[in-house]
Amino acid sequence: MVFGFGKKKTQEQQPAAPVETGRKISLEEIPKILHDIEAPQAVEAVEIAKTTRDDIEIHRKKILGLILHLESDGLKLDDVDRNLSIIVKRGKSAIVSTIKKETTTVLTSVTKYDQAVLLNLEISQMLKKMGDVLGQNSRIIHIFAKKYADSLKEEIAKVAKSRNQLQLSINAIEQLREEARVITDLSQKITEQRAEIAQRTERLTEIESEVKSLKDTISSLEKQIHELRSSDGHKKFLEIKNRIDSMASEKSDVKNVIDLQFSKISRPLGRYSYISSFEKPVRMMMDELLANPYDVISQQNKDSVVHILQAVEKSVISGSISVKDSEKSIEQVQETITRLDEFIALKERYSNKVSALEKDLAVFDIKLLESKEHDLHKAKTDVTNMEQIKKKLDEEVKDTNHTLTKNISQLETGVSKLTGSQVLLK
């Protein structure tokens, strides 16, 4: 015989199969539905726990009585080997000590479900400890205290049977709570998903309105731009602009004349830049003369340019800077100074022509056209971006709707199972 009363498996209670009635419920009703299902079962579990405690107390008293008899029983060990006698007495002491303790502790009084759970745990631990100590000393009790073994087994089995009924009741409620937790989680997810869908659907409506408004703006801008481009003023503006662009070759010719002249004196001018004692603004002008004389030469800068060239001339004459042919270099510097008025006149003549044409460009407001073209490009870009956002939102709503449908179906199945009737979510 093995004393393993605390380890007996209990059978799970199976809920009744749903009967279809098609009752419609809202998410707000679910907490009360779950409470109304659990409450009577919890009350029943409390009543079972009370009965179980009373029943087990009766059996504990009987077990305690058996143990007290065993404690006072010498088990006729006088004729037994001394070493064996010691082992038997030690085993008997362990049995008596453990079971006396387990049968005299005060069990929890039950008035609510949590106390029923605690009582069930106490009984289970009591059965395990008694079963363990009897199992560890099984041979001793069967050989030397056989008359107690069967009675102990019978009474402990009755305790275990009574506990099993309570365990079944608790198992049913815990299973119900787990299913209720799943349903509650699903309710929360459904609430969140419905809000998410509503929010994204509202945003989709806003985007559709924004896209429509943008497309109307695009149509209006395209019409305005077409009218501006078709106007006489724009045609004249383009003609003038083409004339200005065609004058680029004239500017290039003037620039080439000036660059050619300054290329003749680039060597002495470049060498003088290393030894000059000019102040910073003049030194900067000298560097620009070397790099791009066209941009430097003007009526305003003429005196400074002459001053620089004369300083270069003096340095060549004095030998401060060395050149291959000093006379030729001096001649070319003097020639450059002499031609400055010619260069300035060429630049001013070109500049005056361009300025006159640029004044004529006022015949058409090009900035208005450019502004509308910019607005058109921005509106088209915004439409493209909005349509991409709309596509993404459409996909998200579709995915969320799919998940929502699954969660609603799962929730309806769960509640139907618990209530025993088919329910549908409003």
Q: What is the DSSP string of 5-47?
A: GGG---PPPPPPPPEEEEEEE-GGGHHHHHHHHHHHHHHHHHH
The whole-number pLDDT of residue 78 equals 66
Q: Is the model more confident about 373 or about 357?
A: 373
Which residue, among 267, 271, 263, has the nearest Cα to 320 in the 3D structure? 271
Q: What is the mean pLDDT of residues 346-359?
A: 88
Q: 14 pLDDT exceeds 60?
A: no
The whole-number pLDDT of residue 140 equals 82
pLDDT tens-place string over residues 206-220: 999 999 999 999 999
Q: Is the model more confident about 217 or about 70?
A: 217
Q: Which of 176-180, 253-257, 279-283 has the lowest mean pLDDT?
A: 279-283
Q: Which of 109-118, 298-307, 395-404 has the lowest mean pLDDT?
A: 298-307
Cα distances (angstroms) measured from residue 160 to each of 31, 341, 422: 35, 124, 38
Q: 376 pLDDT exceeds 90?
A: yes
Q: What is the mean pLDDT of residues 41-70?
A: 93
Amino acid at 18: P
Q: 272 pLDDT exceeds 50?
A: yes
Amino acid at 301: N
Q: 406 pLDDT exceeds 90?
A: yes
Cβ atoms of 192 and 404 closer than 8 Å? no
Task: Provide the pLDDT confidence category of residue 266 given band limits of 50, 70 and 90.
Answer: confident
Q: Which residues pair with 24 in a beta bridge?
A: 424
Q: CB within 8 A of 4, min separation 6: which ones?
A: 131, 135
Cβ atoms of 170 and 52 closer than 8 Å? no
Tell the burial category of 140 from Cβ atoms under 10 Å away from its Cβ (0-12, 13-18, 19+).
buried
Q: What is the mean pLDDT of residues 109-124?
A: 95
Q: 22 pLDDT exceeds 80?
A: no
The whole-number pLDDT of residue 139 equals 85
Q: What is the mean pLDDT of residues 166-180?
A: 93
Q: 60 pLDDT exceeds 70?
A: yes
Residue 341 in tokens: 């008025």
The whole-number pLDDT of residue 184 equals 94
Q: What is the mean pLDDT of residues 87-111?
A: 90
pTM of the model: 0.62
Task: Provide the pLDDT confidence category of residue 107 given band limits of 50, 70 and 90.
Answer: very high
Amino acid at 164: N
Q: 9 pLDDT exceeds 60?
A: no
- Distance between CA atoms of residues 125 and 7, nearest Å: 10
22: alpha, beta or left, given left = phi > 0 and alpha = psi -120 to 50?
left
Q: 1 pLDDT exceeds 60?
A: no
Average pLDDT, the chain: 88
Residue boundaries of the structural domains of the chain: 29-186, 232-363
Residue 78 in tokens: 């006088």
